[in-house]
Structures are given as C-alpha cells and as structure tokens.
C-alpha cells in the first residue's frame, strides 16, 4: 500500500506531469496532489509476486490478456483526473489493451481486476478510499489479500458487494477471468525447500 513522504508534505501539490519527470517517480502514487510512497513488508511482497505469477501463467495459457505488477501507475479516475494509483497486481483483458499502450507514461485503461495486498501499518481508511477509487473508476473486480490472516476479500465493485474467503475456500475469476479457479490456501504455501515457514 502506501505512506505519505516527507517530500509530499514539503510541497503544496504535485501534478501528474511533475511525477513523470521525477527520476524516482515510479515509486509513488499521487492522491490529492500528495506523493504516496509504496511501503510493503517482505511477506506482502512475496504474496503479491506469487499471485502475479499464478495469474500470469493462467492468463498466458488462455491468451486472456495482460498482467502487471506493482510499478504500473494508473490514471483512470474521473472524480480526480490527477490521481495516480498503483495496485499490487492488475489485469486487463486482451481485447482492451494493445502493445502500443505500453508506451504511455501512465496507463489510462481501466483494469478488469486489481489486487491489493495488505501490509503492516496499512490503515483501514486508506484501504476504504482505495476501494472507492477503483469502484468510481469502473473496475469490476477487486481482490484484497490479507497475508497474515491468509484471507481474500472479493469485491464486486459495480454491485457494491464483498465476500470473504479463507483457507478451504476457492477463488474464482468470475466474468473477468472465466474458468480461473484457485484454492485460497495455495496462495500462501511456502516453497517446499523452506526448512521452516516464516513466522
């Protein structure tokens, strides 16, 4: 997720154009003109990478579209055209994205799926705002992952509904990734070579 940086507090507002010019601008989100630096713990990073790999492998096998990691910046919010968000994982259907779209500074195509992995120190208010942002942008499906509780909350954003999935449950892609199914417990399985699971 993200935290406000000292640089952001030192300036009144930052524009998306200024963000593009910053040497390290790809580390930040932009919310209400303030830079928000991503900050994730090791477990959250591992879960996000694992999910991106699992989704990518399935998407590639189906020719279903494009999967992106946490450094892709989206500028898709009609209620705040200067807002920039960076979901931990995102997916865009093949028919909605073309290779030439890779050349944009920001992605302006609304993703079909966003995944946010909760990190230590994340605040409920920030997560609630993020969910609202993606709903207002028109994202149909959002997964919020809690690595500590080993749970998913699946948000049907247009319907405004959410369901919680724990170990023993099965994740599916709905109409966004039809045919995709994944046991929740499989996401949190540590490598077989590990002598001891992290605590």
The answer to whether residues 65 and 74 touch, using CB atoms and an 8 Å cutoff, is no
**Looking at the whole model, is its pTM more than 0.75?**
yes
The answer to whether residues 130 and 116 touch, using CB atoms and an 8 Å cutoff, is yes
The answer to whether residues 81 and 48 touch, using CB atoms and an 8 Å cutoff, is no
In degrees, rounded to 5, the angle at the alpha carbon of residue 157 between the alpha carbons of residues 66 and 50 is 40
* Structural domain spans, the chain: 39-187
Enumerate the β-bridge partners of residue 92. Answer: 66
Average pLDDT over residues 141-166: 96
Is 11's pLDDT higher than 60? no
**Phi, psi angle pair for 95, to nearest 5°:** -75, -5
Q: Tokens standing for 66?
A: 């494009």
Architecture of the domain made up of 39-187: Alpha-Beta Complex (3.90)
pLDDT attached to residue 7: 47
What pLDDT, in 10s, does the model give residues 117-148? 998 777 777 899 999 999 999 999 999 999 99
């Amino acid at each position: 997720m993200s935290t406000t940086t000292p640089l952001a507090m030192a300036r009144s507002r930052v524009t998306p154009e200024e963000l593009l010019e910053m040497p390290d601008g790809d580390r930040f989100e932009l919310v209400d003109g303030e830079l928000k630096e991503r900050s994730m713990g090791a477990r959250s990073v591992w879960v996000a990478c694992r999910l991106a790999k699992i989704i990518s492998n399935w998407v590639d096998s189906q020719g279903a579209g494009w999967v992106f990691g946490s450094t892709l910046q989206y500028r898709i919010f009609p209620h705040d055209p200067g807002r920039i968000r960076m979901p931990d994982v995102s997916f865009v259907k093949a028919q909605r994205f073309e290779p030439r779209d890779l050349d944009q500074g920001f992605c302006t195509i609304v993703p079909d799926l966003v995944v946010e992995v909760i990190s230590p120190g994340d605040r409920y208010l920030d997560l609630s705002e993020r969910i609202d942002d993606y709903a207002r942008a028109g994202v149909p499906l959002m997964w919020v992952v809690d690595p500590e509780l080993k749970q998913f909350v699946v948000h049907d954003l247009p319907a405004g509904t959410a369901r919680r999935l724990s170990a023993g449950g099965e994740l599916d892609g709905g109409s966004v990734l039809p045919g995709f199914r994944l046991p929740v417990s499989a996401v949190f399985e540590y490598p077989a070579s590990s002598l001891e699971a992290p605590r």
